[in-house]
Structures are given as structure tokens and as C-alpha cells.
Amino acid sequence: MEMRPIWIFSFLIILGMFADRIIFVIFPNYLIEKGFSASQIGLIFSFAGIALVISRLLVGRLSDFFGRKRLMSLGLLLYSASLASFPFLTSLLQFVLFKGLKEFSENLTSTLQDALIADSFPKRIRAKVVSKLGSLYPLSRAGSVLIGILITSIATLAFGFWIASFFIFLSFLIFLTFPEKVRKQSFRIRMKRPSRPLLLIAGISFFMSLNFGVAYFPGFFILAKNLGISTPQLFSLLLPAYLLSSGMAWWSGSWIDRIGRRSSMLLFGLSFSLATFFYALSSTWLSFFAVLMVISLSYYLWRIGFKTSLYDLTQKPERGGQIGFVKMLTGFGDILAPLMGGLVIDLLSLQAAFYLAGLFGLMACCLNLILIKFR
């Protein structure tokens, strides 16, 4: 097995997660400081545009014919530029537009990175490779916690956007060394009809994105504020959750195939869906932290089963388009969820948002049960 792609993907994950978690905590708090309402924050997080979501399918399809490297390189550059722009924005419309650009470029990058990982490693070793790479997600996010604490303690929230932008630009420079082999094919937009298992895994991804988005944007951060948890303290609570999740993700490579990749999706998807309900019952920082630990651990183990199962269902000649299709459905969830969460919080209550999020997670688990029956 060639190690060079593994090293490149490892650096991309580490730097990408540094940027992702810094923005994950800083951006909602930055908007709250700017005085935006829950519904306005939901609108900002929801807007990526229907055209941008559909472009996931088109971009994945284009990469099947023209090569993934050049398109992903463009995505990394746009992602870095969009992050660097946020501190200069003032109006709701500006935040909506630049959030759309950020979502487009980030989704472009993640779609093609998934396709490249699936291209680079055969099915027989894929679960082990994905578990090892998957362990880097929470570990890198633990590192981002330390960076986030430093930023919020000695600088402004706006400075965090520039730090995140630098990490993504560094990813772009590293990715230029990736040894992609471009397969020459005649170009055609049309893709074969997705198989039933691929449709099911796309549905699972859609409902899980609703679960995550409704619960976290902006409910999670409003709950933390209500419990008196400051931004540096929130970073501190995330640190042990990420460290534990990283260790378990690394270890999962030795047992995930024994219980089944799709069965592991169901087990851990059910775990963090049920745990989401308990955010509504959190009344102290300790109960908040306990729920956070369960959800973090369950999510990263679910993610390994999901990613491996998705890669297994794709075929190389059309892999970019197939992964793009699943990402497109996920994107619709990403658009709808924060807007739904913000409206539920404003019109009903914060607790209602967490109950709704948990329900969406259980719907994903129902589809997962059906998926297990397919070979």
C-alpha cells in the first residue's frame, strides 16, 4: 500500500479540522455578538442555494472525467478566501452570500476528497484505512480546541477567521503534491440510476444532517450561553470529547468489520440520536458535558461506518457523481436544518428544537434497518 496518499490525506484532515472546529465555535458566537436573532442565524447557516447543492452532483460527475485534483484545488482556494472575508462583513445579506460561497467551496472540497480516498484504497483494506483517517478528525479537533482557547483568550473572534483561512491555504499547498492519475473518458452528464442501497444511504445522510443542523445551529450555542458557558469554556469541554472519540475511532478498525459496517452505523446512529433528546433536559454544565461526550463518541464511530459503507457502494467510473449525489441530499439537509432550528426556537422553544433533531435521527435509523437487508 502506497503511503504517500495516506500522508497527504492525513495532513488535509488535520488542517481542515483545525479550520472547521475554529469556525464551528467562533462563527455562531460572532453572529450572536453582532446582534442577529436565532432566525437570522438560521437563515445565514441555511443558505447555500439550491444551485450550489445541485452542483455537488455536477462537480462530482465532472471530476470523473476531467480529474478531481484541479477541481478540489479550486475548492480549497475559494474556501480559504471566503473565510478570510467574514470579519469585513456587516449586513445580513453579506453574511448570507459569503456563507453560500463558503459552503460551496467546502462542499466541493469534501465531495472530491471522499472520492479520492475511495479511489486510492481497495475495499478489502478500506475499513481499516478509514478508521485510521477517521481517528484524525476528533484528534485534530482536539488540537483546534487549544488553538480556539488561545484565540478567544488573547485576540478577537474575528481573528479566528484569518487563522482558519491560513490552515486551508496550507492544505491547498500540500494537496498540490497529490499524485492523481487522470482517466480519459468521453464526457457525459447523465449518470446511471442510483441503486436502492445508494438511495437509502443518501436518505440516511439527509436525515442525519437534519439531526445535526437542527440541534446545533444555533440551539447548541444558545444552550451553552444560557448555562453560563463562555466561548473559551466551550472549547475546553470539547477537548476531552474529541480525545476520547479519536482513541475509539482508531481502535474501531480492529472490530468494525466483525459487527458489520452497516450494523455499526445503526448502533451508533441510534446512540447519538437518542442522546440528542437529552440536550433538552440539560440544566447544568455537567449534564451538558455528559450529553456532549456521548454524542461526540457516537458520531465519530457512526461516521466511520457510514463513510466505509458509502465508498463500498460506489464504482470508480462514476464514483464522483455517486458520492456527489449523496452529498447533494446531505446539502439539502444542511440548508433546511438551521432554518428549521432557528424558527422552532423563536416560535416554540429551545427544547423543542432538540426533540425535533432527535426525531430526525431516529428516522435515519429506520432507513438504516432497511439498508442492512441489502447485500
Tell me the pLDDT tens digit for each residue of 21-74.
889 889 988 998 898 988 888 788 777 555 567 666 677 777 777 778 888 999
What mean pLDDT, rounded, does the chain reach? 88
21 assigned to some structural domain: yes
104 assigned to some structural domain: yes
Range of the domain at 270: 4-177+194-372
Residue type, position 288, single letter: F
261 assigned to some structural domain: yes
What pLDDT score was predicted for residue 51?
A: 52
Task: List the grid coordinates of 345.
Answer: 426556537
Q: Which residue has the higher pLDDT, 238 or 59?
A: 238
187 assigned to some structural domain: no
What pLDDT score was predicted for residue 54?
A: 64
**Where does the chain have alpha helices with state H?**
4-33, 38-46, 50-66, 68-85, 92-120, 123-154, 157-175, 196-215, 221-226, 231-252, 256-259, 261-277, 285-312, 319-347, 350-372
Number of domains into which the chain is organized: 1
Q: Which of 20, 6, 209 is nearest to 109 (CA)?
A: 20
185 assigned to some structural domain: no
**CATH code of the domain covering residue 108:** 1.20.1250.20
188 assigned to some structural domain: no
Stretch 297-325: mean pLDDT, rounded? 89
98 assigned to some structural domain: yes
Distance CA(75)–CA(81), nearest Å, equals: 10
- The answer to which of 84-98, 122-136, 258-272 has the lowest mean pLDDT is 122-136
Angle between helices 123-154 and 285-312 (to 10 degrees): 150
Q: In which band, very low, low, confident or very high, does the pLDDT at 190 lie, cut at 50, 70 and 90?
A: low
Global pTM reads: 0.80
Q: Which of 141, 109, 108, 112 is nearest to 23 (CA)?
A: 141
Stretch 74-88: mean pLDDT, rounded? 95
189 assigned to some structural domain: no
